Homo-oligomer: A and B are copies of this chain.
Amino acid sequence: MLAVFGHTNPDTDAIASALVYARLLTRQGVPAQAYRLGELNFETPFVLREAGVEAPPRLPELEAGTPVALVDHNESAQSAPNLAELTVTRVVDHHKLGDLTTAQPAYLRFEPLGCTSTILLKLHREANLPVERVDARLMLSAILSDTLHFRSPTTTAEDREAVAFLAPIAGVEDVEAYALAMFAAKSDLGDTPAETLLKMDYKVFPFGDPAQLQRWGIGVIETTNPGYVLGRQAELLAAMDQARAEDGLNGILLSVVDILHETNVTLVLSATEEKVLREAFGAEVENGRADLGHRISRKKQIVPTLETYFAPEA
C-alpha cells in the first residue's frame, strides 16, 4: 500500500491533494492511502465537512524502504522525518525543486501552477477518468485556498479554468460565497495558543551556500481579520522567539496576510530579521512590524527574494 502525504503543518491543499491522489491512484490500480503530517488548520475541517469526508489519519512511523508518494511538497525539511529511508516513487507538486532525490526512476509531476490540486485535475483528465463529486469539492477548495480565490500572484489561467470546471461537479453554485465561508472558517481563531497560530502554516527553508547554510522559519497567517491577529503581537513574538531557539534557526518571520485587502504585515522578532527585511525587501519597520505591501505569496514573493539575498556571490 502506497502512503500518500503532503507537508508538515498541512494546509487545505496538502490534505485535499493527499486524499484525491490516493483515490486516483487506487482507481488506476495502485492501492494508496492518504495520511497527514500534523494537525489540521482551521480551514480544512470546514472543507472536509462540506465534502463529507474524514480527515486522513496521522502518518505512522514507516519502515525503511516503504514506498511513498509526496504531494504539495518535496523538501525533506517539510516531509516525513525519516524520508531519506523511504522510497519515493511519486511526487505531484507545484513548488520549486529542493533537495529531493530518488534511488530509482520515479513519477514526478511538477508544474508552476497555483495549486497541486490543479495538477491532480489534469491527471484525471489525461487518464480519461471522470471526476467524482467528493474529489471535485476537495480540489476546488484547495485551489481557492492556495490562490486566495485567485488573489495570489501564484494564480494561473489553469487554476481559474480548473475551478470553473470543478464547481458544477462539486455542486458549488456560488464560488465567491463558498470561498468567503472558507476564509471565515480559517479566520475564526478563537483562543488558539500563539504557538499554534505561528506553526499553523509554517515552513523552514534553507538559504545560501550549503557550507554556511541559513535556516529560516517562515509562518503565514492568512486571515480576513488581521486586527485580531496583530492584537496578539506580544504573544506571537514570544512564540517566535521560542521557536527560533528550539529549532536552531538563523531567523524567523511571521506574515499576517489580509486576504481581502491583499496586504502583508510581518512581525519582526529582532535586529537580525529587521536587517534582512529592510535590505531584502526594502520594508519599512515600525513597532515590531514590517510592511511588506502586497507581497501575499510566501512561495512567489517572500522565499525567492530571500534566496537571492542569501545566495553566495558569484
Contacts and interface: CB of A to CB of B under 8 A. Distances in A.
Contacts of A133: none
B101 A106 contact: no
Given A64-B314, A109-B109, A101 B99 contact: yes
A104 interface: yes
A96 B85 contact: no
Given A64-B314, A85-B314, A108 B108 contact: yes
B109 A108 contact: yes
B103 A108 contact: no
A108 B99 CA distance: 15
Interface residues of A, number: 27
Contact of A97 (B102, B112, B299): B102
A73 B121 CA distance: 27
A107 interface: yes
B108 A110 contact: yes
A105 B95 contact: yes
Given A64-B314, A126-B126, A314-B64, A304 B108 contact: no
A108 B132 CA distance: 27
Interface in A267-314: 299, 304, 307, 314
A98 B107 CA distance: 14
Contacts of A101: 96-99
